[in-house]
Amino acid sequence: MPQLSLKANRTRSSVGTKPHPIAHISRLPNEVLGIIFTFCVQLTLQCASTSNRPWRCRTWIWVSHVCRHWRSVALSCTGMWTKPDFGIPALAKEMLIRAKSAPLRIDAHLQRHPSPSPAYHSLNLVEEALQDISRVSELRITAEIDILEKLFSGQLQQAPLLSTLDIRALELDDDLYFLPDNLFGGEAPRLRELTLMGCRFRSDYLFLSKLRSITMHSHRSANSPLPKEFIQALQRMPDLERLDLEGNLPLGSSIPDVVVTLPRLRSVRLSGTLENSVGLLGCLNIPITTSISLEGFAEEPGTLDSLARCLFHFFPLSLPSGSSSRIVKALTLESTRRNDGARFALTASDYAGQSMYGPSFTLRLEEALYPVSDLSADIIAHVVLGVLPLSHLRDLHLSVNAFTAKHYTKYFGTLSGLETIRVRGNGARGLAASLSESKNVYPSLKKLVFWDVDYQSDSIFFITLVASLRFRLEQGRPLEKLEIKEAFNFSKNQRNMLRPVVLELDWDGMVRTAEFEMDLEDESDGLSQENDSDEYYHDDDD
């Protein structure tokens, strides 16, 4: 909508008219009407894609049936018809005719099994549109491999206008769709965004050199690309800004010892085995502003050694004079245990706040082959936290068990800049215990936030929390603010016990029952059920 508004302003300026703000729509210039109609078409198709009754939303493009003037403007505005709705064959056919020679945006989901998608019945229209690929600006196709082969096997015509190519193969038995050797005759000079799901491409495609975004996803069991060819492909993308790879990463042990420089890369996401992800990441020379995300399996403990070496590459302990480095101001740690293994997630950012913006480093591991124990997550944490530069850390978010939260004190308890700690769940018990251990622990802590904490399941926890906060108060380092959110069994008496030991207690007014349902305290606790002001959720007087 903002883009259309900007375009409308430019068009109004170009036609040299200044319509009155309350002028009748019939007095608007045809160029402005065309832009409004284009937005109506986009809104109609969007409604159809999200509605439970799409046939009521997209029976036709209604703006061409209001009056003769509107119909004349609509028929002459080819931009209205450039994205055919293949869900209704008759509508798609008419839109292709009305688009005339304008650049097309093709988006078709051609699934055949287990039941045909609505657009599958327009397969012949999609084939017809792709016969003149030279006028296609955006191409998004989802289909079984045999349909993709039918659409692209003879596609040798150049695609001078193509800016977005999105091909998604509906994978069966981990098969991959291999794009033709000479796709588009090797010529797609405007191609900037490439998305391949269940597909492979050749590293010698000429159009790779202009790519700014590449996304490749497939099953982990699919055949991995040859490391040498894959590295050569990356070397042909100097303008790449976004790299997202999932599943079939090249084998880390076979990646050649070369450096691929991507000076404009903004984000990289690698999902696969930790060995393959680290192996590929280790050969990239990227700016310190690049956001890094590693997701996958830690197959064996020895893999963590290569992870440590990779992290040292991006977070060196020492740098030449005058050079910049990555700074960690906010850190989120999550670890959970299940019957099939443990999960570990870490996100580091240079932005200190509840939301993380800008450059970040994310590590998500599913350690399915490690023993299921509290120590398993600590193994990974020891490797990662031992490398990350934490001296600038200001905001810490923990979603871990009590043992792990208390154990993390050795990494965070002495940091002089750590001001805010946010804890979700049982980790609050471990943190409360660590606060009472020494007067020097968490020396700069000002704000503490607890989510989803049960205040009655363990009376020792609450007693320890109050004692720890009173200890800090007596030492002249009181907690400035304690936030309680979505609490379990948080009574009025407990709130009264906390108020004297903190400078400010901020409670959201929510208490959850044993059945895990959200309840509000009744009027006897100082909250009115009829009051919908801010005090309804944040009641300083209880």
Nearest to 517 by CA among 478, 486, 539: 486
Torsion of CA 376, 381, 386, 389, to 10 degrees: 170
Taking the C-alpha atoms of residue 153 and residue 287, their distance in angstroms, rounded to an integer, is 39
Cβ–Cβ < 8 Å for 92, 86? yes
Nearest to 385 by CA among 355, 356, 359, 415: 415
Q: Is residue 511 part of a domain?
A: yes
Domain boundary among 81, 103, 127: 81
416-431 as b/e: b if 16+ CB within 10 A: eebbbbbbbbbbbbbb
Contacts of 305 (CB under 8 A, 6+ apart): none
Taking the C-alpha atoms of residue 247 and residue 319, their distance in angstroms, rounded to an integer, is 34
Measure the CA angle with vertex 181, ends 180 and 185; round to 5°. Answer: 95
Q: What is the largest CA-CA distance in the chain?
A: 82
Structure tokens at 299: 């197959």
Nearest to 507 by CA among 524, 523, 525: 525
pLDDT at 532: 36
| DSSP string for residues in 429-473 | HHHHHHHTT-TTSSTT--EEEEES-BSSS-HHHHHHHHHHHHHHH
Q: Is residue 477 part of a domain?
A: yes
| pLDDT tens figures, 1-51 | 455 455 555 555 554 555 556 656 667 788 888 888 887 776 666 665 555
pLDDT at 25: 66
Taking the C-alpha atoms of residue 526 and residue 485, their distance in angstroms, rounded to an integer, is 18
Reported residue count of the chain is 542
Cβ–Cβ < 8 Å for 99, 78? yes
CA distance readout (Å), 326 to 72, 320, 323, 353: 58, 14, 11, 17
* The total number of structural domains that make up the chain: 2
Taking the C-alpha atoms of residue 314 and residue 310, their distance in angstroms, rounded to an integer, is 7
Q: Is residue 389 part of a domain?
A: no
Q: Is residue 205 part of a domain?
A: no
pLDDT tops 70 at residue 414: yes
pTM, 2 dp: 0.78
Contacts of 66 (CB under 8 A, 6+ apart): none
Q: Is residue 137 part of a domain?
A: no
Bigger pLDDT: 62 vs 89: 89
Q: Is residue 310 part of a domain?
A: no
Domain boundary among 49, 81, 113: 81
Cβ–Cβ < 8 Å for 423, 431? yes
| pLDDT tens figures, 415-454 | 999 999 999 988 999 999 888 777 789 999 999 999 988 8
Identify the CATH number of the domain in which residue 535 sits: 3.80.10
Taking the C-alpha atoms of residue 355 and residue 91, their distance in angstroms, rounded to an integer, is 44
CA distance readout (Å), 275 to 285, 300, 304, 308, 368: 18, 9, 8, 12, 14
Q: Which of 72-76, 130-134, 193-197, 350-354 has the lowest mean pLDDT?
A: 350-354
Residue recorded with tokens 């965004």: 193
- Average confidence score pLDDT of the chain: 78
pLDDT bracket for residue 202 (50, 70, 90): confident
pLDDT at 421: 96
Q: Is residue 125 part of a domain?
A: no
Q: What is the DSSP letter of 373?
A: S
Domain boundary among 31, 58, 81: 81
Q: What is the DSSP letter of 282?
A: T
Q: Is residue 238 part of a domain?
A: no
Q: Which of 122-126, 214-218, 338-342, 436-440 has the lowest mean pLDDT?
A: 338-342
Domain that holds residue 59: 1-81
Q: What is the DSSP letter of 489?
A: S
